[in-house]
Amino acid sequence: MMVSIQIFVCMQLDCRMHGNVVTMAAFSGGGGDGSRRRDPIVLAFEDAKISVLEFDDSIHGLRTSSMHCFEGPEWLHLRKGRESFARGPLVKVDPQGRCGGVLVYGFQMIILQAAQGGSGLVGDDDGFGSEGYIEPVMVILHEQKLTWAGRVSWKHHTCMISALSISTTLKQRPLIWSALNLPHDSYKLLAVPSPIGGVLVISANFNPLS
């Protein structure tokens, strides 16, 4: 009997950061055009600092391609008067590498557009298939009608999801569809990859017949 063994070689890099990394994510599809370009990495630091890193073959290490800071006097309006937050920034990226979203200050979404041209984050070919949307779509789980534990027996389908089309060129976010009457204890969304597509809503107790 012949056994096929695959060996994966990982490179270890030691990089010193000027702060604690709260969350990170990788832009996929960086080498889709046949080049040797690596997938960029997005790092988020408290309270609202973002860095994009890429692997540079010439130095055999990481180099900073862009830095973003949404702190200071000119960004005080993003805090809405608050000084502390329960969690740090959260990074999510488009599966096709067209843009990334960073949730800062608990309720502010920063959209980072992938750079164009030779030094961009992704190739010129976005690789659109027969499924999905032309523009990146962000789906948000939120509560349309507020409730509390004492009224669950009367009012328990209070959540909904809203899908927004993110236009990085026009800087618009139109609502394209929504779904109402979801259970009040819905707490998470999972993206379903192609060819099925869509989004899966996770709830603690969901009875489709209720």
pLDDT given for residue 29 in this prediction: 56
Task: Establish if 129 belongs to a structural domain.
Answer: no
Q: Of 7-16, 24-33, 87-96, 119-128, give the range with the top mean pLDDT.
A: 87-96
Task: Establish if 126 belongs to a structural domain.
Answer: no
Residues 104 and 178 in one domain: no
Q: Bigger pLDDT: 67 or 130?
A: 67
Residues 162 and 191 in one domain: yes
Token output for 80? 């809405």
pLDDT given for residue 94 in this prediction: 84
DSSP 193: P
Task: Establish if 71 belongs to a structural domain.
Answer: yes
Round the average pLDDT of the chain to a whole number and report it: 79
Task: Establish if 29 belongs to a structural domain.
Answer: yes
186: containing domain: 134-210
Greatest alpha-carbon pair distance for the chain in Å reads 68
Residues 112 and 175 in one domain: no
Residues 152 and 85 in one domain: no
Of 29-38, 133-142, 189-198, the poorest mean pLDDT is in 29-38
Task: Establish if 11 belongs to a structural domain.
Answer: no
Task: Establish if 127 belongs to a structural domain.
Answer: no
Residues 40 and 79 in one domain: yes
- Using the 3D structure, point to which of 62, 82, 116 is the last residue of a domain: 116
Residues 82 and 23 in one domain: yes
Q: What's the whole-model pTM score?
A: 0.71
Predicted confidence (pLDDT) at residue 37 exceeds the cutoff of 70: no
pLDDT given for residue 122 in this prediction: 34
pLDDT given for residue 1 in this prediction: 47
Task: Establish if 207 belongs to a structural domain.
Answer: yes
Residues 103 and 63 in one domain: yes
pLDDT in tens, 86-121: 889 999 988 778 888 999 998 899 988 876 433 333
Predicted confidence (pLDDT) at residue 33 exceeds the cutoff of 60: no
Residues 103 and 141 in one domain: no
Angle, CA of 7, 13 and 18, to the nearest 5°: 150
- Using the 3D structure, point to which of 61, 82, 116 is the last residue of a domain: 116
pLDDT given for residue 206 in this prediction: 66
Residues 31 and 107 in one domain: yes
- Using the 3D structure, point to which of 116, 151, 179 is the last residue of a domain: 116
Task: Establish if 124 belongs to a structural domain.
Answer: no
pLDDT given for residue 116 in this prediction: 45
pLDDT in tens, 118-161: 333 333 333 334 466 788 899 999 987 777 777 877 888 889 99
pLDDT given for residue 17 in this prediction: 79
Q: What percentage of the chain exceeds 90 in pLDDT?
A: 30
Residues 177 and 101 in one domain: no
Overall residue count recorded for the chain in this entry: 210
Token output for 73? 């006097």
Residues 103 and 147 in one domain: no
b vs e for 62-90, b when ≥16 Cβ sit within 10 Å of the residue's Cβ? beebeeeebbeeeeeebbeeeeeeeebbe
Residues 28 and 104 in one domain: yes
Rounded to 5 degrees, φ, ψ at 65 are -95, -30
Domain count across the chain: 2
SS3 116: coil
Q: What percentage of the chain exceeds 70 in pLDDT?
A: 79
Beta partners for 178?
162
